[in-house]
Structure 1
Amino acid sequence: MREVAQLAGVSRMTVSRVVSDPDVVLPATRDRVNRAIADLGYVPDKAAGGLSSRRTGFVALMLPTLTNANFASVAHGLTEVLRGSDYDLLIAYTDYDLGEEERQLRNLLARRPEAIVLTGASHSREIARLLLAANIPILEIADLPHRPIEHVIGFSNHEVGRTAARYLLDRGFTRLGAIGAVYDGSVLDHRGEERIRGFEEELRRSGLPTTGVIRHGIAPLSYDHGVGALQELQRRAPDTQALFAVSDLSAVGVVMECQRQGLRVPDDLSIMGFGNFEIGREINPPLTTINVDFHGLGSQTGRLIVDLLGSATPPAREAAHRVDVGLAVIERNTVRPA
């Protein structure tokens, strides 16, 4: 900072003001300081600045995986809003592992984020304890828990499964299947499991068997998961007419495996997914799916964070926000018309 001040011909205090609060500095002086900063390659030490201001400028986001396009959309929507208010996003991922979630949470909290965003609503007691003790805004996204830690912006994964089942039942199918992941030690896709449970619940309400509901493989799901799950379904319920996959990735794998086997989609097997991934729109036939606006979910989360951090009196936990972003069926060509 001293070298920048010497090169620009100003005091170190002026350099500090340009870095921390540029609007209070005359434009000509500010430009001279910024040119000196650029010439010297100076990068302000935000960690040191945070010690005095008690602000780090970071918001933490914890995702289950980095390979899911919907989670990438959440991060994009969140980042776009936060950038406009001079906050940066710090991202960690857990691979659906609760033990790793706790480790990553400790790492994030050690960096003193000003708010933290977690995907889903299933956390260990230790994670809940750490979050409550952090004394910063806590936001759970992509789910609608009955007992949230604080703020919630998401949708009901249970309702996703019920919606898929009702959609297929309304088209006259009576032999339905669904595919998701199994629980393997500490690895569990809670959101996908809720979709499966919602699907099963709707089948039971309609008096139909759940023989075709298959839990196969472990999260994160992929095209390969769809291939293996379809083969398992064919062994257990070979007369299945229509299938719901808890992820479009699995659903696309099912479509490709059907084509390899010479099965016609949707005539021999109707297929429905979740997530509205780009590949589902591009395959032939295009995939019928359930859509959630994940980019919008991220944007809403960002706006709430900015409001919370800008408020002089944060809301009490009992007044926490709860936002349902909703969901919608997108009809394409992998489900046979009624």
Structure 2
Amino acid sequence: MPATKIHIPEETAPSGAARMSDVAREAGVSLVTVSRAINTPGKLAPDTLAAVRAAIERLGYVPNLMAGSLASNRSRIVAAIVPTISNLVFSETIEALAQTLADGGYQLLLGQSAYRHNDEAALVDTFLGRRVDGLVLTGLGQPSALRLKLRRAGVPVVQTWDWPSAGGEAPVDMLVGFSNVDAGRAAAAHLFARGYRSLAFIGAEEERSRLRLAGFRAEAAARGADEVPAELIRPPVQIDDAGARLAQLLARRPGITAVFCNNDLLAAGLLFECQQRGWAVPGRIAVMGFGDMPIARAASPRLSTVRIRRAEMGERAGQMLLTRLAGEDPGAQFVDIGFEVIERSST
């Protein structure tokens, strides 16, 4: 039986630019080998791969990814959408995702939704139009029309940074995240365990912040506390927003003894405000953050917070996509990475 021929497209290139055939000639290998070095490097012997990469470097060759994607029906690109690139809480997730995908021969394309569903939907359309091989989304709150489009798109989707609540929307496809509601509950339980009874919340006016507030309020109510006052800030949230919001909370309830902030940046801003007022933390008021960012460990006093394994979330999302794109079963499609309450001196 004759061997099946593999067509390797020799892409067009500007005059003077190196071509795949030039790389093959320089490295002393076939076009197929050069193609494998670019698309599936793990299938080549280390010496062969090194020779091809050295030839690519010497010639300054840049692969025509469009030609390869037309032949293989793969773009080798995965797109991720985050609410904002200015909030460092997402950076570790994206960095780990990008590295995991790169190790598997894929590149990451990043979009920012600015916490707006319409912007997220427009980005999804753009990325699907570019024929990305997979999508990573933040949260589970996409509108039903977008969820239906994602299910019909035929590309693997991983949602992150959330977990479905009872009766809530199921994931579109795959999920790696944690329960924001339970994280809020855990924060309230920690503050009650430390003796604080009059609680308040400062956060962003966005979905995951509201879920943490819901859990925080539910746990406080279950322990007999009064209704928890909250201040929600329209994104983007700045570190100095917390001071003004504290004043508004105190005007409504002067006896507040502890404040849970939706992220460590707000909590650090609240510490600065307390220092300006001459208030001891936690003597006059306790402060708790969320995320366990570096500022939580550097602040004075050091911040109690809820730790999220942000890098692990990105790595697991990347692994799930790579497994699916390889035509294999990723096993567990819904992965709860959990969270951990970190007690420090601010509470």
Give the alignment's TM-score, normalised by structure 2.
0.86
Q: For residue 173 of structure 1, what is the aligned residue in structure 2?
A: 196
Post-superposition shift, 1:68? 2.0
1:16-31 alignment runs, 5 A limit = 16-22=31-37
Contact preservation (8 Å) 1:5, 1:15: no
Q: Deviations over 1:164-191 (max 9, x none)?
A: 1111111221111111233xxxxxx211
Match for residue 185 of structure 1?
Answer: none
Q: Are 2:184 and 1:148 equivalent residues in the alignment?
A: no
Structure 1 pair 215–28 and aligned structure 2 pair: CA distance change class (3 A): closer
- Determine the structure 1 residue equivalent to 2:225: 208
State the alpha-carbon separation in 2 of the partners of residues 144 and 6 from structure 1. 49
Deviation at 1:331, TM superposition (A): 1.0
Residues 17, 230 of structure 1: alpha-carbon distance in 2 compared, 3 angstrom cutoff: same
In structure 2, the CA distance between the partners of 1:238 and 1:19, relative to structure 1 (3 Å rule), is farther
Q: What is the DSSP-based 3-state SS (H/G/I as helix, E as strand, rest coil) of the residue aligned with 1:10? A: helix
Question: How far apart in 2 are the matches of 1:48 and 1:13?
Answer: 22
Residue range with higher mean Cα deviation, 217-226 or 285-294 = 217-226
Do the aligned residues in 1 keep the contact of 2:23 with 2:61 (CA within 8 Å)? no
Q: For 2:208, what is the secondary structure of its paired residue? A: helix
2:339 to 327, 330, 336: 327
Deviation at 1:115, TM superposition (A): 1.3
For the 8 Å contact 1:8–1:32, the answer to whether it is kept is no
The 5 A counterparts of 1:76-87 are 76-87=95-106
1:64 aligns with 2:83: yes
Aligned-residue offset at 1:12: 12
Counterpart in the other structure of 2:6: none
Give the equivalent residue in structure 2 for 1:160: 183
Q: CA separation in 1, counterparts of 2:320 and 2:45?
A: 33
Deviations 1:67-90 (A, max 9, x none): 222211101211222222111111
SS at match of 2:233: coil
Unpaired runs of at least 5, structure 1: 183-188
* Count of matched residue pairs: 324
The residue identity in structure 2 corresponding to 1:20 is S
Distance of aligned partners of 1:6 and 1:221 in 2 relative to their CA distance in 1, 3 Å threshold: closer
SS at match of 1:240: coil
Q: Report whether the alignment pairs 1:99 with 2:118.
A: yes
Aligned-partner SS, 2:105: coil
Cα deviation code 1:140-195 (max 9, x no counterpart): 1110124111111100000111101111111221111111233xxxxxx2111100
Deviations 1:237-290 (A, max 9, x none): 111011111111111111101111111111000011100011111011110101
Q: Which residue in 1 is equivalent to 2:154?
A: 135
User: Structure 1 residues 209, 130: CA separation in 2 closer, same or farther (over 3 Å shift)?
Assistant: same
Distance 1:26 1:164 in 2: 52
Q: Distance in 2 between matches of 1:168 and 1:110?
A: 48
In 2, the alpha carbon distance for the partners of 1:236 and 1:193 equals: 20
**Is the Cα–Cα contact under 8 Å of residues 19 and 44 in structure 1 kept in the other structure?**
no
8 A contact 2:27–2:51 mirrored in 1: no
> What is the RMSD of the two structures over their aligned residues, measured on CA atoms?
2.6
Work out whether residues 24 and 31 of structure 2, in 8 Å CA contact, stay in contact via their aligned partners in 1: no
Q: CA deviation at 1:28?
A: 8.2
Whether the aligned pair in 2 keeps the contact of 1:159 and 1:198 (CA below 8 Å) is yes
* Shift in CA distance, 263/17, structure 1 to aligned 2, threshold 3 Å: same
> Bigger shift: 25-34 or 238-247?
25-34
Q: Distance in 2 between matches of 1:322 and 1:229?
A: 37
Distance 1:28 1:301, change over 3 A: closer
Matched residues, percent identical? 32
Q: Which moved more, 1:62-71 or 1:273-282?
A: 62-71
Counterpart secondary structure, 1:42 = coil
Aligned counterparts of 1:213 and 1:119: Cα–Cα separation in 2:
27
Residues of 2 paired with 1:303 and 1:221: CA distance? 32
Cα gap change, 1:124/1:26 in structure 2, threshold over 3 Å: closer, same or farther? closer
Find the aligned partners of 1:245 and 1:67 in 2 and give their Cα distance: 18
2-structure distance, mates of 1:161, 1:252 = 18
The 1-side partners of 2:332 and 2:87 are apart by: 28
- Matches of 2:246 and 2:49, distance apart in 1: 64
In 2, Cα distance between the equivalents of 1:158 and 1:29? 52
State which of 237, 250, 272 in structure 1 corresponds to 2:253. Answer: 237
Against the structure 1 CA distance between its residues 8 and 40, is the aligned structure 2 distance closer, same or farther, given a 3 Å change threshold? closer
Q: 1:228 to 1:5 in 2, by over 3 A?
A: closer
Q: Of 222, 233, 247, which aligns to 2:263?
A: 247
Picking from 279, 286, 290, the partner of 1:270 is 286
- Secondary structure of 2:212's aligned partner: helix
2:212 counterpart of 1:195: yes
Query: Is the contact between residue 77 and residue 107 of structure 2 (CA under 8 Å) also seen in structure 1?
Result: yes
